[in-house]
Structure 1
Amino acid sequence: MIRNYFKIAWRNLAKSKGYSAINIGGLAVGMAVAMLIGLWIYDELTFDRYHENYDHIAQVMQHANFNGRIQTQNSNPGLMGPELRTKYGSDFKYVVQASWRGGHMLSIGGKHFVREGIFFEADAPEMLTLQMLKGTRDGLKDPYSILLSASTAAALFGDEDPMHKTITFDRNYEVKVTGVYEDLPDNTSFSDIKLMAPWELWLIQNPWVKKMQNPWGSNFSQTFVQISDHADFEAVSAKIKNAKLNNVNEGEKRYQWQVFLHPMNKWKLYGEFKNGINTGGNIRYVRLFGMIGLFVLLLACINFMNLATARSEKRAKEVGIHKTVGSHRWQLIGRFFAESYLIVLLAFMFSLLLVIGLLPLFNEVAGKEMGIPWQNPLFWSFNLAFIFITGLLAGSYPALYLSSFQPLKVLKGTFRVGRFASVPRQVLVVAQFTVSVMLIIGTIIVYQQIQHAKNRPVGYNKQGLVNINLQDEIKKHFEVIRTELKNAGAIEEMAACMSPLTSVWNTNGGFDWEGKDPNLGVDFPNNAVSYDFGKTIQWEIKAGRDFSRDFATDSTAFIINETTAKFIGYEEPVGKTLMWEEQPFTIIAVVKDILQESPFFPVRPTLYRIAPVNDMANLVIKLNPNQSAAKSISMIENTWKKRVPDVPFDYTFVDEAFGDKFLAEERIGKLSSYFAVLAIFISCLGLFGMASFVAEQRTKEIGIRKVLGASVVNLWRLLSKEFLLLVAISCILAVPIAWYYLALWLSNYDYRVSISWVVFVLAAVLALLITIVTVSFQAIKAALANPVHSLRNE
Structure 2
Amino acid sequence: MIFKLFNVLYISIVFKMAGGLIMDLIMMSNYVKIAFRSLMRRKGFTGINIIGLAIGLAAAMLIMLWVDSQLHFDRGYPKTDRLHIIGSIGKTNDERSVYFVSPEPLAAAVKAAVPEVKQTCRLNKTRGFLFTVNEKKMIAGSGAFVDSTFMDMFQLPVLAGNIEKALNDPSNIVLTKDLALSLFGSTDNIIGRDIQIDSIELVQVAAILDEIPSNSRFAEFQYFFPWVFLEKMGFADNNWYNSSVYSFVELFPNTNTTAVQQKLQHISKAHADVKNDNFLKPIGESYLYNNYKNAVVVGGRIDMVRIFICIAVFILLIACINFVNLSTAQSEKRAKEVGVRKVVGAQRRSLIGQFLTESIALALVSTIIAILIVILLLPEFSDLIGRKLTLPIDQAYFFISILAFILLTGLLAGSYPAFFLFSFHPVRVLKGRFVYLRQKINPRKVLVVTQFVIAVVMIISTLVIRKQIQHAQQRDVGFEKENLVYVAEVGTIAQNIALIRQALLDQRIATAVTRTMSPMTERWSGWSGASWEGKDPNSIIPFNRQSADDRLIETTGLTLLKGRDFDLKRFPTDSMAAIINETAAKVMKLDQPIGSYIMDGDEKFIIIGVVKDFIQESPFNPVTPTVIEGAAAPLGVVHIKFNPELTTADALNRTEKIFKEYNPNYPFEYHFLDTEYARKFQEIQRTGKLASIFAALTIFVSCLGLFGLAAYMAESRTKEISIRKIHGASIFSVARMLSSEFVLLVSVACLIAFPIAYWAMDSYIQEYAYRINMSWELFAATGILAIGITILTVGYQSIRASLANPVDCLRDD
The bucket for the TM-score relative to the shorter chain is: over 0.9
Q: Is the contact between residue 574 and residue 631 of structure 2 (CA under 8 Å) also seen in structure 1? A: no
| Partners of 1:67 and 1:637 in 2: CA distance | 48
CA displacement at 1:67 relative to structure 2: 4.9
The letter of the residue matching 1:110 is E
Alignment partner, residue 109 of structure 1: 134
Which range moved further: 279-288 or 765-774? Answer: 279-288
Establish whether residue 178 from structure 1 lines up as the match of residue 203 from structure 2. no
CA displacement at 1:69 relative to structure 2: 2.9
| Partners of 1:62 and 1:300 in 2: CA distance | 47
| Partners of 2:126 and 2:396 in 1: CA distance | 37
1:307-349 alpha-carbon deviations (Å, 9 max, x no partner): 1222222111100111122211110110000110111011111
The letter of the residue matching 1:300 is A
The letter of the residue matching 1:605 is P
Establish whether residue 242 from structure 1 lines up as the match of residue 242 from structure 2. no
Q: 2:734 aligns with which of 712, 715, 733?
A: 715
CA displacement at 1:780 relative to structure 2: 0.8
Establish whether residue 555 from structure 1 lines up as the match of residue 575 from structure 2. yes
Establish whether residue 37 from structure 1 lines up as the match of residue 57 from structure 2. no
Task: Give TM-score, length-normalised by structure 2.
Answer: 0.93
Change beyond 3 A, Cα 1:354–1:645: same
3-state SS in 2 of match to 1:724: helix
CA displacement at 1:421 relative to structure 2: 7.4
CA displacement at 1:131 relative to structure 2: 2.6
| Partners of 1:384 and 1:103 in 2: CA distance | 51
Alignment partner, residue 647 of structure 1: 666
The runs of 5 or more residues in structure 1 that have no matched partner are none
Q: Is the contact between residue 575 and residue 632 of structure 2 (CA under 8 Å) also seen in structure 1? A: no
| Partners of 2:195 and 2:711 in 1: CA distance | 73
Q: 1:96 aligns with which of 97, 106, 121?
A: 121
CA displacement at 1:292 relative to structure 2: 0.5
The letter of the residue matching 1:169 is I
| Partners of 1:352 and 1:335 in 2: CA distance | 26
| Partners of 2:99 and 2:234 in 1: CA distance | 22
Which range moved further: 779-788 or 728-737? Answer: 779-788
CA displacement at 1:497 relative to structure 2: 0.6
CA displacement at 1:488 relative to structure 2: 2.5
Q: 2:231 aligns with which of 196, 203, 208?
A: 203
Alignment partner, residue 638 of structure 2: 619
Q: Is the contact between residue 75 and residue 283 of structure 2 (CA under 8 Å) also seen in structure 1? A: no
Establish whether residue 123 from structure 1 lines up as the match of residue 140 from structure 2. no
3-state SS in 2 of match to 1:309: helix
Establish whether residue 429 from structure 1 lines up as the match of residue 453 from structure 2. no
| Partners of 1:25 and 1:2 in 2: CA distance | 26
Matches within 5 A, 1:276-295: 276-295=295-314
Establish whether residue 314 from structure 1 lines up as the match of residue 337 from structure 2. no
CA displacement at 1:424 relative to structure 2: 1.0
Alignment partner, residue 91 of structure 2: 65
3-state SS in 1 of match to 2:638: strand
CA displacement at 1:586 relative to structure 2: 2.7
Q: 1:491 aligns with which of 501, 510, 514?
A: 510
Q: Is the contact between residue 85 and residue 100 of structure 2 (CA under 8 Å) also seen in structure 1? A: yes
| Partners of 1:442 and 1:290 in 2: CA distance | 14
Q: 1:144 aligns with which of 159, 162, 171?
A: 171
| Partners of 2:180 and 2:696 in 1: CA distance | 45
Matches within 5 A, 1:131-280: 131-137=157-163, 138-159=165-186, 161-206=189-234, 209=237, 215-249=239-273, 252=274, 256-280=275-299
CA displacement at 1:232 relative to structure 2: 4.3
Q: Is the contact between residue 153 and residue 250 of structure 2 (CA under 8 Å) also seen in structure 1? A: yes
Task: Give TM-score, length-normalised by structure 1.
Answer: 0.96
Establish whether residue 460 from structure 1 lines up as the match of residue 479 from structure 2. yes
| Partners of 2:292 and 2:375 in 1: CA distance | 38
| Partners of 2:184 and 2:433 in 1: CA distance | 86
| Partners of 1:207 and 1:742 in 2: CA distance | 47
Q: Is the contact between residue 332 and residue 399 of structure 1 (CA under 8 Å) also seen in structure 2? A: yes
CA displacement at 1:481 relative to structure 2: 1.1
Q: Is the contact between residue 459 and residue 595 of structure 1 (CA under 8 Å) also seen in structure 2? A: yes
1:130-170 alpha-carbon deviations (Å, 9 max, x no partner): 33322222211112221122222233233462222332223
| Partners of 1:581 and 1:83 in 2: CA distance | 23
Establish whether residue 609 from structure 1 lines up as the match of residue 614 from structure 2. no
3-state SS in 1 of match to 2:436: coil
Change beyond 3 A, Cα 1:322–1:421: farther
1:104-131 alpha-carbon deviations (Å, 9 max, x no partner): 2222223222222111111111111133
| Partners of 1:164 and 1:369 in 2: CA distance | 31
Alignment partner, residue 787 of structure 2: 768
CA displacement at 1:356 relative to structure 2: 1.8
Matches within 5 A, 1:50-61: 50-61=76-87
Alignment partner, residue 8 of structure 1: 34
The runs of 5 or more residues in structure 2 that have no matched partner are 1-26
1:502-545 alpha-carbon deviations (Å, 9 max, x no partner): 11111133322343221001221121111022211111101111
3-state SS in 2 of match to 1:21: helix
The letter of the residue matching 2:268 is K
3-state SS in 1 of match to 2:220: coil
- CA RMSD of superposed structures (Å): 1.8
Establish whether residue 700 from structure 1 lines up as the match of residue 700 from structure 2. no
Matches within 5 A, 1:619-768: 619-768=638-787
The letter of the residue matching 1:109 is N
Q: Is the contact between residue 491 and residue 665 of structure 2 (CA under 8 Å) also seen in structure 1? A: no
| Partners of 2:617 and 2:741 in 1: CA distance | 52
| Partners of 2:271 and 2:632 in 1: CA distance | 32
Percent identity for Structure 1 against Structure 2: 39
Alignment partner, residue 396 of structure 1: 415
Q: Is the contact between residue 329 and residue 404 of structure 1 (CA under 8 Å) also seen in structure 2? A: no
CA displacement at 1:714 relative to structure 2: 1.2
1:231-253 alpha-carbon deviations (Å, 9 max, x no partner): 1444322221111112213xx3x
Q: Is the contact between residue 576 and residue 631 of structure 2 (CA under 8 Å) also seen in structure 1? A: no
| Partners of 2:234 and 2:770 in 1: CA distance | 38
Which range moved further: 272-281 or 331-340? Answer: 272-281
Matches within 5 A, 1:517-556: 517-549=536-568, 550-556=570-576
| Partners of 1:490 and 1:730 in 2: CA distance | 61
3-state SS in 1 of match to 2:428: helix
Alignment partner, residue 417 of structure 1: 436
Alignment partner, residue 593 of structure 2: 573
1:15-68 alpha-carbon deviations (Å, 9 max, x no partner): 011111111111111111111111111111222244211221111111111353
Establish whether residue 481 from structure 1 lines up as the match of residue 506 from structure 2. no
Change beyond 3 A, Cα 1:551–1:733: same
CA displacement at 1:790 relative to structure 2: 2.4
Q: Is the contact between residue 233 and residue 263 of structure 1 (CA under 8 Å) also seen in structure 2? A: no
CA displacement at 1:612 relative to structure 2: 4.7
| Partners of 1:526 and 1:343 in 2: CA distance | 63
The letter of the residue matching 2:786 is A
CA displacement at 1:472 relative to structure 2: 4.5
CA displacement at 1:172 relative to structure 2: 2.2
CA displacement at 1:422 relative to structure 2: 5.3
CA displacement at 1:6 relative to structure 2: 1.2
How many residue pairs are counted as aligned between the two chains?
A: 783
| Partners of 1:358 and 1:668 in 2: CA distance | 18
3-state SS in 2 of match to 1:749: coil
Matches within 5 A, 1:505-524: 505-524=524-543
CA displacement at 1:766 relative to structure 2: 0.5
Alignment partner, residue 11 of structure 2: none
